[in-house]
Every structure is written in structure tokens, then in C-alpha cells.
């Protein structure tokens, strides 16, 4: 039996619960959510203070103990600067700041450039990067290092490493065919203006040396349900892509068929539920849109390279499949300049992009070459090159899907 006293107390409790619910709803609408509900606010910070040296092309992983590790290259330039080395920094669990940068890899006398990383199924850290042999992109070889116990302070202790040598089947005739088809679509005057360059490209496409050299990484590997590792690589010699494939946890590698679009580089690979692989690529030509290519056989062969609806100014991108099956892409959403860095989400495996929100949207500066992962707690982590008037750094941003969904909806 409910007495008058109990009824009054019940009404007071219900009133308090209603107020709490309203306050929580207001808090959520304002962009703040308690950690138990996720992180629908954006948190960002520089990995290290602005630096006058060239700091560029990051990778990011979450280690087994929950700490974040970021890699990038640093030096007085890029391929032409022999002092360039791979650096890293750590962010321990619960910390708001990053460790001081430390050197992870240095090949004395040669530039070490674009970095990417992964944690394999044995919880080993794998780092991939190109060593530039003759100060040209065409002369690079992709190297790797493996750490069995990557946690701790400073650089991981490396237990294995080497070079990924690829011997693709001769793709010259097919590539020349695609090149001629692309040229036929161009205005005659434009094609004539580049006749010397096109003649040189045709010659390079017939040479084994350049088919086997010059492949370098940018985006993280994709691991298929079978355990197959696809390490996306690209060639600035030809402006095309290829996949380095390993079916034995990285002990041996072989080459896929190339993704030939003459302007498509730096692929990020996502997998649909039906097994189709989609490669999203930087546009390095005149189209000003992200390039796309599909594989139906786990990355061995690839279809024609086409264009997506998403714009691109000639800048790197990255993507991740979220735990709920949604896809997330980070890219510069302009046709010129790198001063706007967007995050878009697809709920239909890349067929459309429903929400977009910006990590950066400034009048000046370059915010580019993102690397993205989703942590074990569901938090999305993006690290990207941050270039402003005062210097260069890496910037780290963390958020969840709800933060993106508060942005523009298509």
C-alpha cells in the first residue's frame, strides 16, 4: 500500500529523475557526453611543439596495453635530404600529453620517408617505410621492422626487419593500353604538349627495373579474415598502385596485379561484407576527385580505376571500417589546397557518405596525410601532418562516430 508520505517521496524522486534526464539531454546536445556514453566531443592536441624541420607522413597504432604510438619522418627535407629519419612518440593510457619524440629508424646517409604501422594478430608492431636510394622517389625500396614487445619507453626494440622485394608480372603492355585510352579522352592540344613526357613514360613502362623499384607505402595494411595482409603501395614513377601480399604473417611477400589509372596513388583499402575490396586513392592528376578501384579476389586482381564523388586536391587520405560496420574516411575535401580536413561516414559500405564534419577548416595552413584507427574502447584516433606559419608538427584528434554525426548530413 502506498501511503501519502511514500507517494510524495516517489513524486520527488521522479521529478529529480526527470531533471537529470533533461540535463543529460542538454549536455549531449551541447556536444559533451560522459565517458560511459562515448566521446562525442572532439579532443585534439599537437604531438610535439611546432618544429622548423620537415615533419610529415604519420602512422598510428594502439598497443596491447592501450597506449598510442605515432610515427612520422623528420629531417631537413624529403627524398633529397639524407638526414631524414623515422621518429615516434607515445601517449600512455590516461595521459593528456605525448612523450618527447624519439628516433625509431635511421638509415645513415639515406632518407627514410612515409611511415605506416599495424599491430598484427600476434600483437607484434610492424613498421613500414621507404628508404630512398638515389634521392628520387623512383629509386626507393620499402623496408619493414617488427617488434615483439613494442610497449615501454622510447623506441620499440626491433626483433626482425628487412626489405620487401616485389617482382610483379610484366604489366607494361596492359599499362600502355590504358595510357593510350586515357590520352584519347584528352584534348589533342593538351596531349601534344606532353608528348615528350608520354614517350618517356611508355619507355619506363617496358623496363623491369622500374617495375620492381619505386614502390612505397603510405596507408596502413588491411588484414583479411583469412589472415592475408595487403600492404598498399604506390609508384611515383608511373602514378599507379600495387598491393604487397603476404599469406604468412609478413614472412614473405608477392605482388598483386597493379591498379592502373595514371594519377591514382597512396591507396587505403576497406572490405565489404561480401568480400569486395575497395581502394580509395589520392588523385595525382587533373580529375580533382578521390580515385576508386575494386577487387573481387582478395586483392590479387583489380578492376578499372574510376572516380568517387568526393573531391581531392592531390593529397593523402585514409579510412577505417568501424566496429559497427560503418566506414569512415579522412581526406582534404577541396579541389585546391590542404587547409580543410574532413571526416565522412558511410553506412552502406562506401556507396554513399551520409555525414561529414571537419577536423580543420582554416584560411591558411596545411592539414593533411591523415592516418586513422579505432581504439579498443571505440574512440576514433586521427593523426595528421600539421603545417602552419610557425612550423610543423603532427596533430592528434580523438572523437567518436556521434561527433561526426553532429555535422553536415547529406
Say how far apart CA 317 and CA 343 lie, in whole Å.
Answer: 10
Say how far apart CA 266 and CA 282 lie, in whole Å.
Answer: 6
Say how far apart CA 64 and CA 251 lie, in whole Å.
Answer: 22
Q: Count the alpha carbons within 13 Å of 74 in the hemisphere toward its beta carbon.
A: 22
pTM, rounded to two decimals: 0.90
Contact between 211 and 170 (Cβ < 8 Å): yes
Say how far apart CA 91 and CA 47 lie, in whole Å.
Answer: 9
User: Tens digit of pLDDT per residue, the chain (410 long)?
Assistant: 444 444 444 344 434 333 333 333 333 333 333 333 345 789 999 999 999 999 999 999 999 999 999 999 999 999 999 999 999 999 999 999 999 999 999 999 999 999 999 999 999 999 999 999 999 999 999 999 999 999 999 999 999 999 999 999 999 999 999 999 988 888 887 777 788 999 999 999 999 999 999 999 999 999 999 999 999 999 999 999 999 999 999 999 999 999 999 999 999 999 999 999 999 999 998 899 999 999 999 999 999 999 999 999 999 999 999 999 999 999 999 999 999 999 999 999 999 999 999 999 999 999 999 999 999 999 999 999 999 999 999 999 999 999 999 988 77
Helix (H) or strand (E) holding 405: helix 401-405
- Tell me the β-bridge partners of 54: 75
Say how far apart CA 208 and CA 187 lie, in whole Å.
Answer: 31
Judged on CB neighbours under 10 Å (0-12, 13-18, 19+), 172 is middle
The one-character DSSP state at 251 is: S
Give every strand in the sheet of 125-132, ordered side by side: 116-119, 125-132, 140-147, 160-164
- Could you give the 3-state DSSP secondary structure of residue 363? coil
Dihedral, CA atoms, 52, 113, 230, 70, nearest 10 degrees?
A: -30
Fold type of domain 47-164:
Neuraminidase (2.120.10)
With vertex at residue 164, the alpha carbon angle to CA 158 and CA 168, rounded to the nearest 5 degrees, is 170
Cell of 304: 578499372
- Could you give the 3-state DSSP secondary structure of residue 147? strand
* CA distances to 188, 222, 303 from 257, in Å: 30, 17, 10
Q: What pLDDT score does 242 carry?
A: 98
Q: Where are the domains of the chain?
A: 47-164
Amino acid at each position: 500500500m502506498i501511503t501519502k508520505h511514500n507517494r510524495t517521496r516517489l513524486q520527488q524522486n521522479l521529478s529529480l529523475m526527470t531533471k537529470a534526464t533533461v540535463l543529460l539531454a542538454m549536455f549531449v546536445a551541447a556536444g559533451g557526453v560522459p565517458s560511459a556514453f562515448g566521446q562525442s566531443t572532439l579532443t585534439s592536441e599537437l604531438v610535439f611543439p611546432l618544429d622548423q624541420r620537415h615533419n610529415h607522413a604519420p602512422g598510428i597504432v594502439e598497443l596491447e596495453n592501450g597506449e598510442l604510438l605515432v610515427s612520422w619522418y623528420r629531417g631537413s627535407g624529403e627524398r633529397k635530404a639524407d638526414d631524414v629519419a623515422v621518429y615516434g612518440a607515445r601517449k600512455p593510457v590516461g595521459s593528456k600529453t605525448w612523450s618527447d619524440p624519439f628516433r625509431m629508424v635511421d638509415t645513415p646517409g639515406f632518407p627514410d620517408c612515409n611511415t605506416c604501422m599495424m599491430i598484427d594478430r600476434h600483437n607484434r608492431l610492424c613498421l613500414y617505410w621507404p628508404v630512398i636510394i638515389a634521392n628520387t622517389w623512383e629509386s626507393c625500396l620499402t623496408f619493414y621492422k617488427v617488434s615483439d614487445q613494442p610497449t615501454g619507453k622510447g623506441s620499440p626494440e626491433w626483433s626482425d626487419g628487412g626489405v620487401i622485394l616485389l617482382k610483379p608480372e610484366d604489366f607494361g603492355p596492359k599499362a600502355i593500353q590504358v595510357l593510350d585510352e586515357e590520352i584519347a579522352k584528352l584534348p589533342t592540344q593538351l596531349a601534344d604538349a606532353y608528348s615528350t613526357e608520354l614517350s618517356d613514360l611508355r619507355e619506363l613502362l617496358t623496363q623491369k627495373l622500374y617495375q620492381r623499384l619505386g614502390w612505397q607505402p603510405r596507408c596502413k595494411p588491411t588484414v583479411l579474415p583469412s589472415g592475408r595482409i595487403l600492404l598498399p603501395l604506390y609508384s611515383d614513377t608511373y602514378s599507379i598502385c600495387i598491393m604487397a601480399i603476404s599469406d604468412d604473417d609478413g614472412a614473405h611477400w608477392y605482388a598483386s596485379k597493379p591498379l592502373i589509372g595514371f594519377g591514382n596513388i597512396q591507396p587505403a583499402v576497406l572490405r565489404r561484407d561480401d568480400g569486395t575490396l575497395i581502394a580509395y586513392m589520392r588523385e595525382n592528376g587533373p580529375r580533382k576527385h578521390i580515385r576508386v578501384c575494386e577487387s573481387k579476389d582478395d586483392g590479387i586482381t583489380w578492376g578499372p580505376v574510376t572516380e568517387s564523388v568526393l573531391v581531392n586536391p592531390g593529397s593523402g587520405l585514409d579510412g577505417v571500417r568501424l566496429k559497427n560496420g560503418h566506414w569512415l574516411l579522412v581526406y582534404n575535401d577541396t579541389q585546391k589546397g590542404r587547409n580543410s580536413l574532413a571526416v565522412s561516414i558511410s553506412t552502406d559500405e562506401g556507396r554513399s557518405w551520409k555525414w561529414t564534419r571537419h577536423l580543420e577548416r582554416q584560411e591558411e595552413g596545411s592539414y593533411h596525410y591523415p592516418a586513422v584507427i579505432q581504439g579498443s574502447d571505440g574512440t576514433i584516433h586521427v593523426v595528421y601532418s600539421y603545417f602552419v606559419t610557425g612550423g610543423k608538427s603532427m596533430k592528434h584528434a580523438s572523437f567518436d562516430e556521434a561527433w561526426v554525426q553532429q555535422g553536415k548530413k547529406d
